[in-house]
Amino acid sequence: MTKATPRVFSGMQPTGNLHLGNYLGAMVNWIAMAQSHESIYCVVDMHAITVWQDPRELHKAIRDVTAAYVACGLDPKKSVIFNQSQVSAHAELGWIFNCVARLGWLDRMTQFKEKAGKDKERASVGLYVYPNLMAADILAYRATHVPVGEDQKQHLELARDIAQKFNIDYQDSIAEAGYAQGFFPQPEPMITGPATRVMSLRDGTKKMSKSDPSDLSRINLTDDADTIARKIRKAKTDPDALPSEVPGLKDRPEAANLTGIFAALEGATVEKVLGQFGGQPYSSLKNALADLAVARLSPIAAEMTRLAADPGHIDAILADGSARARAIAAPILKDVKKIVGFVQS
Ligand code: TYM
C-alpha cells in the first residue's frame, strides 16, 4: 500500500440547514483535524441532486453551508473549502469508479435502500451510484483520513474496496507509472467522540436528520436561543431518573442521546456527565444542556447571519478553494488516466 502523506477530506450535502448531528458527528472533528493536517472540506452539491433540488434553493443552500463551515470555525486560508461541481475531477473519477465498483457492492448499501424507499424503480440512477462518487471525492485527492458520522461507515468501506480493486486490477500499469506499492491509499474513516450518531429529540431510536418532517426533532445551527431551549425542553424522555453509570443507558435511547449530546458539547466523557447528573430527574440535565447548547451554538448562528449578508465573500472563498482543489486533483487524475490507458494529448 502507498505510504501517502496524511490528507483529510470530508463533505456535507447542501440540502437544507445543518443540524446538531452534522456539527457533533462531523464538524467538531473536521475542525480538530484541520489544526494538524492538510484538510479539504467540500460542499457536495453534485450529491445533493441525486434527489430533486429546486435550483434556487440549492444555489442558496450551497452558500449557506459554506457560511456554516466558516462560522463553525474552519479557516478558508488553512483548509481548502469549495463546492464539488466546480472541480470536474470528481465527476471524471466518479465515472471510472462506476466501472470499478460491482453492482453487488452497491446493492448492499443500506442508505440507498432507506432513501429510495419502496419504489426504487423511481429513484435516480445517481442515487444508486452515489457511493462511487463519494469514493471519487476522497480518492481524487488521495486522501487518507475521512472524519464522518457513523451513518457514513458503510460508504467508507465501499471507498476502501474501490481503492483496493483499482490497485489490484491495474497493478502492472500502476507499477509502470512508477508507483511501487499501489496507487490509491486506503482512506481511514475517523468516527470519533461521544456523538457519532446523534438521535432525533422526538424519538431516540431515529437518527437526527434534515429530512425529518418535525422541526422539533433536530436543533438547526440557525436556531435562535429560545428555539434551542424550547426544543430541548420538549425532547422526549422516559419516566426514570438518569442512571449513574454507562451500562444504565442500555435500552434507554433518549437518556443515551441527551447525555451523549451534553458530553460532546462540553468536550467531556459520558461517564463524567453521568457522574454529574446520575440519580437526578431529566429536567436538571435539560436545563444545563439548554444553557450549554445556546452558549456553543448562538455565536455560530450569529456568524452565519453575518456571512450570509455578503454572498460575494462566500463565492470568493469557493472560487479560491476550487482553484486549490483543482491543483491538487489534476496531477492525480492525469496519473489515473495514464494508468487506465487513456490517450492524453
Ligand atoms: P450528510 O450531508 O448527510 O452529513 C454530513 C456529515 O454529518 C454526519 N451526520 C451525523 N453525525 C451524527 N449524527 C447524525 N444524526 C448525523 N447526521 C449526519 C454525516 O455522517 C456526515 O459526516 N455522503 C455524505 C457526504 C459526502 C462525503 C463525501 C463525506 C459526500 N462525499 C466524501 C465524506 C467523504 C453525506 O451525505 O453526509
For 145, the enclosing helix (H) or strand (E) is strand 145-147
Please give the DSSP secondary-structure letter assigned to residue 238.
Answer: -
> For residue 129, what are the CA distances in angstroms to 135, 159, 168, 186?
10, 12, 21, 20
Domain boundaries, the chain: 7-196+311-340, 215-306
Q: Is-catalytic flag, 207?
A: yes
CATH pick for 7-196+311-340 out of 3.40.50.620, 1.10.357.10, 3.40.50.2300, 3.65.10.10: 3.40.50.620
Note the pLDDT of residue 2.
47
Note the pLDDT of residue 4.
66
Note the pLDDT of residue 119.
87
64 in contact with ligand 1, CB cutoff 6 A: no
Distance between CA atoms of residues 65 and 15, nearest Å: 9
40 in contact with ligand 1, CB cutoff 6 A: no
Q: Is-catalytic flag, 60?
A: no
Superfamily of domain 215-306: Tyrosyl-Transfer RNA Synthetase (1.10.240.10)
User: Could you report the per-residue pLDDT of 204-240, keeping only the tens digit for each?
Assistant: 999 999 999 999 999 999 999 999 999 999 999 999 9
- Supply φ then ψ for residue 86, to 5 degrees: -85, -5
C-beta separation of 198 from 261 below 8 A: yes
Check residue 6 and give left, alpha or beta (phi > 0: left; psi -120 to 50: alpha): beta
Q: Which residues contact 20 (CB under 8 A, 6 or more apart)?
A: 198, 208, 218, 219, 220, 221, 261, 293, 297
Considering the candidates 60, 165, 210, 272, report the single residue annotated as catalytic. 210
Say yes or no: do domains 7-196+311-340 and 215-306 share a fold. Answer: no
Which residues of the chain are modeled with pLDDT < 50?
1-2
For ligand 1, atom 4, which residue shows the shortest CA distance? Answer: 12
Distance between CA atoms of residues 161 and 158, nearest Å: 5
